[in-house]
Amino acid sequence: MPFAVSMSGICKRFGAVTANDHIDLNVLSGDIHGIVGENGAGKSTLVSILYGFYTADSGTTEIAGIPYTHNTPADSIAAGIGMVHQHFMLVPNFTVLENIILGHEGYKQLSKSMDQARHMLSSLSQQYGLDVDLDAQVGDLPVSLQQRVEILKALYRDARILILDEPTGVLTPQETNQLFDILRALKKQGVTILLITHKLREIMAATDHVSVMRGGRMIAHLQTADTTPDQLAELMVGRPVQVQKQWHKANKGAAIVSVKDVQLTRSKTQNLLSDITFTVHAGEILGIAGVAGNGQSELLNILAGIIAPTAGHISYHDHHIDAGNPADPQKIKSLGVAHVPEDRHASGIVLPFTAAENAALGYEKNVSGGYGHAFLSPQSLRARCAKLMQRFDVRPADPNLKSSLFSGGNQQKLVLAREMSATPSVLLIGQPTRGVDIGAIEFIHQQLIDMRDKGCAIILVSVELDEIMSLSDRIMVMNNGRIMGLVEQATANVKDIGLLMAGVQ
């Protein structure tokens, strides 16, 4: 039986950068096949070539044994290839049915097209366990159901090869398990699935085979049952990597962060945060878990002084902050609080600045001996940045390079280096490993544990539940702007936290 997908000698260059270097990939029909690799390994480029976003510079592709030349996504859809993007391609104010048939109406008379589509989609929903209200407005659906709409849209177009790009980034653990059940149902019906993810646990749970990419090349093809997360990580990075940190009990000190009855109101009818109350001790990591968009970002911005609370108060040591007595980010820094923001481009770095300038941003007095930015010398900026770049493995290690020219992962490491090297008593950190390669994740996690063990109080926000589970001494779960529960590390489990994330107490 021919391979569902066979790509041979695929090469793709963007200027001087070789994204795909003679890639071979064979995917069995009716298989769930994972593709893993670090950022920049070439995964997205390869599946973008398969889906018609890019044209390969050289190499050949066969679909079910038939040579295939495609130029556009429309060509790929016609050939039975569908793709569910990381950021959904849906019209929020259209119904589910309208989104699915958009561009594939079939008849001049829209009502006839919709009747036929409704009948076909009811059959597909029942066949694959993709239950969703066809008349619901997409913008009103939770992300897990929006994802089902994307899958139904691909199946409606008769996709027999389905590409999913980082499909679990906005799902709870229970929703992730439901997605995997759907993928297994699709597999039983002969659909071939390509799963692009950086989560090795999910590769192990969902795939039959896995291919590993590194530096634009294909490194290995493995049967998933014959490998381990540690082996996959080593193949991805090129050296042994400890995927899971070994948590050890914290030596907690006094409470140095206190948050009491904090609220944030957007309008009279909408509370972004309601009744947020917790404390954090010296030598403790408090992890905040939740699906993105449930108030974690707003809470972190309040704690950093970027926005003021509508009500309630916050204390750092003995300094009190509330709506009538707000503090700006510079004041917060002066209290010994460092902040790694979730969005590095919006509030972490100034892209036109050099790495040396960004490495001192907010800490000018530390570099100038207490005199401020007017007394900064270019030599001292460069020397300090060079040390930080070496410690945090920022590449290229050029303090004079504009920050806009670094990759996203290296921009993140530059922000982390600046904030974590300031020896804060409190560290606010949002999505610390977003866009960072697995080898660097290991280093960043160790730095956080070391800071905790030296007495720093750390508030960690991450959408990566594995990261929260492996680093946190206590886990605070948020849903819809409220605290659903506080769980000790010793009693934490994925199932219970997933239910809290979904709003079930």
Q: What secondary structure does DSSP assign to 388-438, as a single string? A: HHHHHT-SS--TTSBGGGS-HHHHHHHHHHHHHTT--SEEEEESTTTT--H
Ranking 175-179, 223-227, 369-373, 400-404 by mean pLDDT, the lowest is 369-373
- Please say if the pLDDT value at position 295 is more than 70: yes
pLDDT at 501: 94
Task: Evaluate if residue 33 carries a pLDDT over 80.
Answer: yes
CA–CA gap between residue 275 and residue 409 (Å, rounded): 35
pLDDT of 375 reads 61
Q: Thinking of the domain 5-237, which architecture would CATH place it in?
A: 3-Layer(aba) Sandwich (3.40)
Token representation of residue 196: 């692009």
Q: Alpha helix (H) ranges present in 129-199?
A: 143-156, 173-188
Q: Can you tell me the distance from the alpha carbon of 383 to that of 399, in angstroms, rounded to the nearest whole number?
A: 8
**Rounded Cα–Cα distance for residues 402 and 358 (Å):** 9
Give bridge partners of residue 211 from the DSSP assignment.
Answer: 35, 221
Q: What pLDDT score was predicted for residue 243?
A: 67
Residue recorded with tokens 């679990």: 168
Average pLDDT, the chain: 90
In this prediction, residues 223-229 reach a mean pLDDT of 96
What is the pLDDT averaged over residues 38-49?
Answer: 87
Average pLDDT over residues 49-75: 91
Q: How many CB atoms lie within 10 A of CB 472?
A: 27
Range(s) within the chain of domains with CATH label 3.40.50.300: 5-237, 253-336+424-505
Q: How far apart are the first and last CA of the chain?
A: 50
Query: Residue 343 — pLDDT band, cuts 50, 70, 90?
Result: confident
User: pTM of the predicted model, to two decimals?
Assistant: 0.81
**Minimum mean pLDDT among 201-215, 278-292, 342-356, 364-378: which range?**
364-378
pLDDT higher than 60, residue 372:
no
Which whole number is the average pLDDT over 153-174? 89
Contact at 8 Å (CB) between 443 and 474? Answer: no
Among residues 465, 419, 470, the alpha carbon closest in space to that of 449 is found at 470
244, amino acid identity: Q
Q: Cα(134)–Cα(259) distance, rounded to whole angstroms?
A: 43
Band of pLDDT at residue 259, cut at 50, 70 and 90? very high
Span 253-336+424-505: which CATH code? 3.40.50.300
Report CA 444 to chain centroid distance, whole Å: 16
Ramachandran angles phi, psi of 231, nearest 5°: -65, -45
